[in-house]
Structure 1
């Protein structure tokens, strides 16, 4: 009989980044303030805490070293250095960052999960080479053979992803998980499969899923063993792909994990808006497993605006999942801390400015495979005589229910990259023609402009259709600079 708690608001705090954000030679209070002050009175009931990206330890460990070991602790950025230096400062002075956070959560009556990244490959990029662990250098046979993974921009070489078809890899990861759970009294564990979803050859996930199912089963047995000694039930959460189909292709048999009682919570997504909440909830029906869509902090490539975060949170909660999971929010400033209090439930979002955006091709190559199953921007326009490009634009229920007050402003904004006055483009909204648009500059973009239209509440549905037909492209640009639908925003403003 599953004994997991019903949770509503899970907040993932990147503990490695917390070490980089606090001052050098910090005190325990410095770390506690960084982690917990943003969560006060926020409604967060579960802290999901990541430390060491799964490849190095910022806690006491016999299995993993501190960051930078493979480079003899020489760093190419101050942020990487501070992760190392502050973790070492704590440990050298008889303190343990992970123990400090677990104790801090207990004192604040917050449950805390350890978030373990199964396959983080930040070490692939030159600016994060400090994260490369020695075990990847010592065991090249543990890594994917040099190959190219397909994405929308051609082929991308990934060379530091662990190959989970290798049993030694799975066994090593299990030992790391065991060490953490035996040394620290967490309430549960998150297996973060979305950092990053290359576990097998890019086209072999479906046929290799049994290996990850075996792995998840072993983790469940471990949690029951350790929890049994403590007299506690340790919960297991998994973070998987945006869509059920995408998870299957990656090798994540979520249905089997749920039906066999291995898991307690499913979290979906890492940067895509089109999370298949209804598909997952149908898949999990009758299993007792909870579902949470992931609210990501960087939908606009870096630090999305508060209005976009509120609009996206409302969209994710509209299908009534069990709750929400916040990731990469980084609530360091006062306004961002207020945002943390707003995004946890629908009622807190009422009456606030929101922006609903169409999914962007986020510049994180490891998620693109699953994005093949939904429309996302940018999209290149081709000249057509009769047909148009149709883009679905979702609106939150506050706007779609047409209960917004008269003084609220509703605007549609479309950015057609490199559009000129000589382009002939027709726009329709839910079948009705949109007349002449206003314009405003696109921030930080030279010679680029938004097209804007004021809309009435009666023109809004839950899912709207924006049709764009390029009748004729500027003859001076058409061969070398296509017209591209770069962004589509639907704004609700109260002030």
Structure 2
């Protein structure tokens, strides 16, 4: 599959929550139609197995709340009522979705989360699957000897159990294929044993491919699809026990979906997957997420110190920001696109969901010719993401002890300017920088000239410095705005260099830079909060 398809994954939870009791089937059909009709989704991926608990009726796993003695909240009782209503009418939620998608002439795959650890939280402990309670010896053992809440694929029993769930889906439903989601929750083997588990996981995927091929032969259908959701770069795969190079070489998957665990990421290494898929029938469909960056408790940031900003759910990406992401993905080899977790915004922000899908669906020429923005955020405030991706270059911290030492913020941008200057703006904020402090800014090692600096704007207390995101308070900072046309060339994979040259010795805390925004083809949204600081 290499056609420019728009794929959407729906986890079913919001779909069920929005269902009206007594009208469950109609509610499900209307929800699915929103994505198929209003968002022009061509392939609907329904997450029906997580993997041991399911939305659909099953004889080998556990259907959600098929029994319920105690409900932590009313929501679980509602979910049980909706799924029971569908069961009692002779169907289930997957059959209804399957029928609705096919009635619109489109395709559906059942998505299986290859590991899910929501039940590690006390709030969600009720979601602990029966198989884990019955087989605690199958749990991953952590380096400190403690037991994880994820099951270990090194145990044959785990592989057989989960393969039986997949076999039931393939044999019992009229699906167009399956999706194996390895980004939920990125725990498949004991950390020290993951690479030794690669042959076991390869064999597992080979068996899934065989089951799909057997169903196609039995029903006289064309090849059934196998989509696989993978980390945002190949470098993270072996550390999880995953081997996409072998999968593609053996012809098992039809699509690879590089993705961060949770957040929108302009830096997804699409080209690495495009390279291993070259001259094959497997396409690359990078993931678009609606969420901006890791959640931060607002109480932890509301002081004078340079603390992280609470970006999550505060940023509803603009058309220009989505267009920048699409440019990046296409430039580095995407065949199409895959949207994830937009179901979480559908109940209360349907216009945002429609708008994002409309931008993704623009003709390539329109995407190239219209204004675009690139918003680079910290994503994970840790050394590594859950999939193992290095995060150290996404947030810069520096102070008086770092005078003269160049700090590097890495960013990837499809728009290049080696031959022709870009029209637009570059903006970033340095938290806790004082008026008397001095910095040198460079792009790819070339100093940005003073003539490119349009303004520096200062605030001395937490403020909503960007009016596009009400309630997102930024720590005290100096905001820098540059004219792109006067900046050194952009080269695709870029470095923003920041060198602290002078620091008021009275200040004993560090500076911080965690976000960069670049607007191309327009001037974007200048910061208006704060007072102007004289240029150096």
Q: Please give the range of the TM-score, normalised by the shorter of the 2 chains.
A: 0.7 to 0.9
Distance 1:351 1:40, change over 3 A: farther
| In structure 2, C-alpha distance between the alignment counterparts of 1:34 and 1:175, rounded to whole Å | 29
Question: Paired residue for 1:306, among 283, 298, 317?
Answer: 317
**Which segments of 5 or more consecutive residues in structure 1 lack a partner in the other structure?**
150-156
Distance 1:348 1:32, change over 3 A: farther
User: Which residue number in structure 2 is paired with residue 188 of structure 1?
Assistant: 177
Distance 1:349 1:84, change over 3 A: farther
Distance 1:47 1:398, change over 3 A: farther
| In structure 2, C-alpha distance between the alignment counterparts of 1:77 and 1:474, rounded to whole Å | 53
Distance 1:428 1:91, change over 3 A: same
Contact 1:48/1:114 (<8 A) preserved: yes
Distance 1:364 1:138, change over 3 A: farther
Alignment of 1:137-286 (within 5 A): 137-147=133-143, 159-232=148-221, 233-270=223-260, 271=263, 272-286=265-279
**Which segments of 5 or more consecutive residues in structure 2 lack a partner in the other structure?**
295-311, 460-464, 525-536
Q: Deviations over 1:377-401 (max 9, x none)?
A: 2222244343311223333439998
User: Which residue number in structure 1 is paired with residue 8 of structure 2?
Assistant: 11
State the shift of 1:449 in Å. 4.1
Distance 1:348 1:31, change over 3 A: farther
- With 384-393 and 168-177 compared, the bigger mean Cα shift is at 384-393
Question: Paired residue for 1:334, among 351, 356, 359?
Answer: 351
Corresponding residue SS for 1:144: strand
Contact 1:7/1:46 (<8 A) preserved: no
User: Which residue number in structure 2 is paired with residue 154 of structure 1?
Assistant: none
Corresponding residue SS for 1:44: coil
| In structure 1, C-alpha distance between the alignment counterparts of 2:117 and 2:382, rounded to whole Å | 11
Distance 1:370 1:143, change over 3 A: same
Question: Paired residue for 1:437, among 431, 439, 456?
Answer: 456
User: Which residue number in structure 2 is paired with residue 377 of structure 1?
Assistant: 394
Corresponding residue SS for 2:285: strand
User: Which residue number in structure 1 is paired with residue 80 of structure 2?
Assistant: 84
Q: TM-score, normalised by structure 2?
A: 0.80
User: Which residue number in structure 1 is paired with residue 476 of structure 2?
Assistant: 448
Contact 1:350/1:398 (<8 A) preserved: no
Contact 2:458/2:476 (<8 A) preserved: no
Question: Paired residue for 1:107, among 103, 107, 123?
Answer: 103
User: Which residue number in structure 1 is paired with residue 56 of structure 2?
Assistant: 59
Question: Paired residue for 1:356, among 343, 367, 374?
Answer: 374
State the shift of 1:476 in Å. 4.6
User: Which residue number in structure 1 is paired with residue 332 of structure 2?
Assistant: 319
| In structure 1, C-alpha distance between the alignment counterparts of 2:382 and 2:220, rounded to whole Å | 41
State the shift of 1:109 in Å. 1.0
Distance 1:92 1:323, change over 3 A: same
Corresponding residue SS for 1:203: helix
Distance 1:180 1:415, change over 3 A: same
Contact 1:90/1:96 (<8 A) preserved: yes
Q: Deviations over 1:165-213 (max 9, x none)?
A: 0110000000001111111111011111111221111132222200000
State the shift of 1:74 in Å. 2.6
Distance 1:47 1:385, change over 3 A: same
Distance 1:200 1:30, change over 3 A: same
CA RMSD of aligned residues (A): 3.0
| In structure 2, C-alpha distance between the alignment counterparts of 1:299 and 1:208, rounded to whole Å | 33
Distance 1:363 1:325, change over 3 A: farther
Counterpart check, 1:413 vs 2:427: yes
Contact 1:417/1:483 (<8 A) preserved: yes
User: Which residue number in structure 2 is paired with residue 485 of structure 1?
Assistant: 513
Contact 1:359/1:375 (<8 A) preserved: no
Counterpart check, 1:294 vs 2:287: yes
Corresponding residue SS for 1:397: coil
Q: Deviations over 1:18-57 (max 9, x none)?
A: 1123344443221122122133264432111112422312
Counterpart check, 1:131 vs 2:149: no
